[in-house]
Amino acid sequence: MNVLITGGMGYIGSHTCVEMLEAGLTPIIIDNLCNARSEVLNRIEHLTQQRPVFLEGDVRDEAFLDSVFAQYDIDSVIHFAGLKAVGESVRKPLEYYDNNVNGSLVLTRCMRKAGVTSLVFSSSATVYGDPQSVPITEQDPTGATTNPYGTSKYMVERCLMDLVHAEPEWSITLLRYFNPVGAHPSGLMGEDPQGTPNNLMPFIAQVAVGRREKLSIFGDDYQTKDGTGVRDYIHVLDLADGHIAALQQVGAKPGLHIFNLGTGQGSSVLDMVNAFSQASGKSIAYELCPRRPGDIAKCWASTDKAQRELGWKAKRSVTEMTADTWRWQSNNPQGY
Ligand code: NAD
Ligand code: UFG
């Protein structure tokens, strides 16, 4: 099966390509490299002994996409490409709507021209906003987003829902990721944020390796077990396997399919600091700071639907997430 992977050189896309190659699927990557390094391709080849096709280009470039669909016999598309930094999205809303929403519209238009109607979209738990209760199920309300990044994901979801309603031959799968962390256990691939990391795990990893002095913990007065924010951290390889399960179980089934991809377990910021400290043998310096605007107290997934309908369940523990992140970070202190 030939699967076009937009954003396949990025963090989640690259791990998904490795898992796909190992499962006998053929990824064809397009990426404009705005947040990725071409070295990723060498690492994928090293791990799988296969070098996927990589075409440098932008998902908003309709002529480029038309040429890709004309050249390759694509069965399905996984659409990872997009911008993802919450804070930056507040400062640059037009860039985020253009990249994430317009990019998705151009992609689906080109898919339709090429007669390709199977799409898996990278959505996010951010579409649930501040949840009324946890665990969050796929039926819970969406749309009360708090920043342009989250709104862009919600807008794409709505566009795709309307598309499948109007043209029922499409198979559209919305995968709502919780908090992807971890790295390939080889230590050859992982998350390589440019500049100061926005997210917790890469920040902790850079403190452990000596690139940053200390972690700021945003809030210790939430209604949680230790006062710090609770999230559902999921190993990036489990997430990658969730995409393969989605392609195999529902990718050829017309209709709209929505799944949470999480573990169903919540961990606090302090849980993650302690787990990382254990994994790395380093103490992680931190200071308690005020809450970060827009953050919620707790968020974790109900995983029942994915388990029931995809036969997929996350397998890897927080211990593996932190150990694999540390192996990647300590072997590649400056990233790729
Ligand atoms: P990433 O930045 O590592 O990967 C995205 C890739 O897309 C990058 O390689 C980038 O160069 C590429 N790209 C961006 N805009 C493009 C464009 N217009 N044309 C072509 N390529 C483009 O991010 P990631 O963590 O791998 O996230 C992948 C997807 O999952 C994104 O859509 C993101 O919003 C979504 N997501 C991520 C998280 C997370 O915490 N990492 C959580 C929920 C959802
Ligand atoms: N945190 C800190 N210090 C930091 C970074 C984070 O204390 O330096 C805390 C946050 O306050 C939060 C937790 O660590 O309690 C996790 O924060 P992240 O920034 O790692 O993740 P978020 O849950 O805020 O957001 C992530 C992605 C979003 C996505 C969302 C839901 O960044 O894109 O998960 O999938 F929408």
> What is the CB < 6 Å shell around ligand 1?
6-7, 9-13, 31-36, 58-60, 80-84, 99, 103, 122, 124, 177, 180
Helices assigned H by DSSP within 32-147: 39-48, 62-71, 86-91, 93-96, 103-114
Q: pLDDT in tens for each of the 336 residues of the chain? A: 999 999 999 999 999 999 999 999 999 999 999 999 999 999 999 999 999 999 999 999 999 999 999 999 999 999 999 999 999 999 999 999 999 999 999 999 999 999 999 999 999 999 999 999 999 999 999 999 999 999 999 999 999 999 999 999 999 999 999 999 999 999 999 999 999 999 999 999 999 999 999 999 999 999 999 999 999 999 999 999 999 999 999 999 999 999 999 999 999 999 999 999 999 999 999 999 999 998 999 999 999 999 999 999 999 999 999 999 999 999 999 999
The three-class DSSP label of residue 226 is coil
Pairing of strands 255-261, 171-177: parallel
Kindly report the protein residue whose alpha carbon is nearest to atom 16 of ligand 2.
200
Terminal-residue alpha carbon distance, the chain: 29
How many Å lie between the centroid of ligand 1 and the Cα of residue 96? Answer: 12
Is residue 149 in a domain?
Answer: yes
- What are the structure tokens assigned to 168, written together? 């029922």
Is residue 13 in a domain?
Answer: yes
Is residue 166 in a domain?
Answer: yes
Closest CA to 280 of 221, 205, 176: 205
Q: Which domain holds residue 42?
A: 2-180+234-262+302-310
Ligand nearest to the CA of 33: 1
Kindly report the protein residue whose alpha carbon is nearest to atom 28 of ligand 1.
80
Identify the CATH number of the domain in which residue 15 sits. 3.40.50.720
Pairing of strands 267-268, 230-231: antiparallel
Is residue 103 in a domain?
Answer: yes
Active site amino acids: 149
How many Å lie between the centroid of ligand 2 and the Cα of residue 199? Answer: 5
DSSP conformation class of 321: H
DSSP conformation class of 136: B
- Alpha carbon of 80 to those of 8, 96, 116, 167: distances in Å? 7, 14, 17, 23
Kindly report the protein residue whose alpha carbon is nearest to atom 39 of ligand 1.
180
Of the residues 122, 152, 192, 232, which should be mutated to test ligand 1's pocket, given the most ligand atoms within 8 Å of the CB? 122
> Considering its fold, how many domains does the chain have in total?
1
Is residue 44 in a domain?
Answer: yes
**217 neighbors 290 (Cβ within 8 angstroms):** no
Closest CA to 296 of 176, 126, 162, 63: 126
